[in-house]
Homo-oligomer: A and B are copies of this chain.
Amino acid sequence: MRPTVHDIAAAAGVSLATVDRVLNQRPGVRHVTREKVETAIRELGYIRDVAAANLAKGRTYPLVFILPASDNSFMHGLNAEIRQAVLRSPAERTDIRTIEVPAFDPAALVSVLEELSREKPCGIAMVATDAPEVRAAVDKLVRERFPIVTLVSDLTGSLRHHYAGVDNIAAGRTAARLLGRFLGPRKGEIAVLAGSMLVRDHRERLEGFAAVMAAEFPHLAILPVLEGRDDPEVAHRLVADALGNAGIIGVYSLGAGNRGLIRALKEKTVDRTLTVIAHELTAHTRAALVDNTIDAILNQDAGHEVRSAIRVLKAKADGLAVIEAQERIRLDIFLKDNLP
């Protein structure tokens, strides 16, 4: 049987009350006594029964998710997954609140973070906008002992405890290799459609993509990035224009808002084979993959990201270890054959 507080008390030769004081860092314990107890804990290999403790405390985990108010399929999916998590709240003892902030607006994000400092949630998951003031606000919260995980888009160089999202540089590199290998020895130009170069994840994907392209597929030339602002209409216009260029043989869409891209691809008048790689599996990209308009989809599983963020925040709040391998968000590669 695993040891209980009673065993610790007996082993350390103190009372239950004292063990409790040590375990819950309450005052009124002499240094030597505290050490006796801590030794007993270590020697017996005592682990607190979190379930029993939560029951006694009537504990819930108030968590806050901060998301950008972006109107694209991916964010809608992320929102839906958070709602699913809310439905599971009673069983998981979580109490989840979502805050939407204007996208790409560091100041707004910072002010939300500052408010949270007063509200005292036991964990914060946020889609980070990459700016120095955001980094400073996050670091401040971490120093005040708030568990913080970044979601989807990381905040490198900050003190955040964990990042629940894919490695975007690796994603870009993977896209480049797939595209390069699919195209074979053909020479030509590659169009890149992004949302905005102001977002870190898009910048990183492009960085990885360009690096592998240059190093391993020098016969393929990357055209200037089209910034579609994750908006289907804008994307449609940009891609339709670009396809006037007969030299294009491949497309990499690294952002959201692929509806416009797909429409432009289907409308193309000149009949030629384009190899297309896009990000994020949605109803639209899925259909396009099935009908061969798109050749591969790179995806991050929003459900996994949300569940992982919650697990990590709870663990951090309790000071417990996380299973690293379980919390690694993988880059899913979908061909038409392995769709879920």
Contact = CB atoms under 8 A, between A and B. Distances in A.
A176 B337 CA distance: 9
Interface in A290-340: 295, 301, 303-304, 307, 323, 325-326, 328, 330-333, 335-338, 340
The 10 A-B residue pairs whose C-beta atoms are closest, nearest first, are A173-B337, A51-B51, A184-B184, A333-B333, A174-B337, A174-B338, A170-B338, A181-B182, A303-B325, A331-B338
Interface residues of A, number: 43
Interface of A: 2, 47, 49-52, 54-55, 88, 90-91, 167, 170-171, 173-174, 176-178, 181-182, 184-185, 208, 212, 295, 301, 303-304, 307, 323, 325-326, 328, 330-333, 335-338, 340
A97 to B, nearest CB: 18
Contacts of A323: 88, 307
15 contacts: A47-B91, A170-B338, A171-B338, A173-B337, A174-B337, A174-B338, A177-B335, A182-B182, A184-B184, A208-B337, A307-B323, A328-B340, A330-B338, A331-B338, A333-B333
A318 B218 CA distance: 58
A338 to B, nearest CB: 5
Contacts of A304: 326
A96 to B, nearest CB: 15
A50 B281 CA distance: 35
Nearest to A185: B184
Nearest to A169: B337
A47 B90 contact: yes
A173 B338 contact: yes
A49 B58 CA distance: 12
Contacts of A185: 184
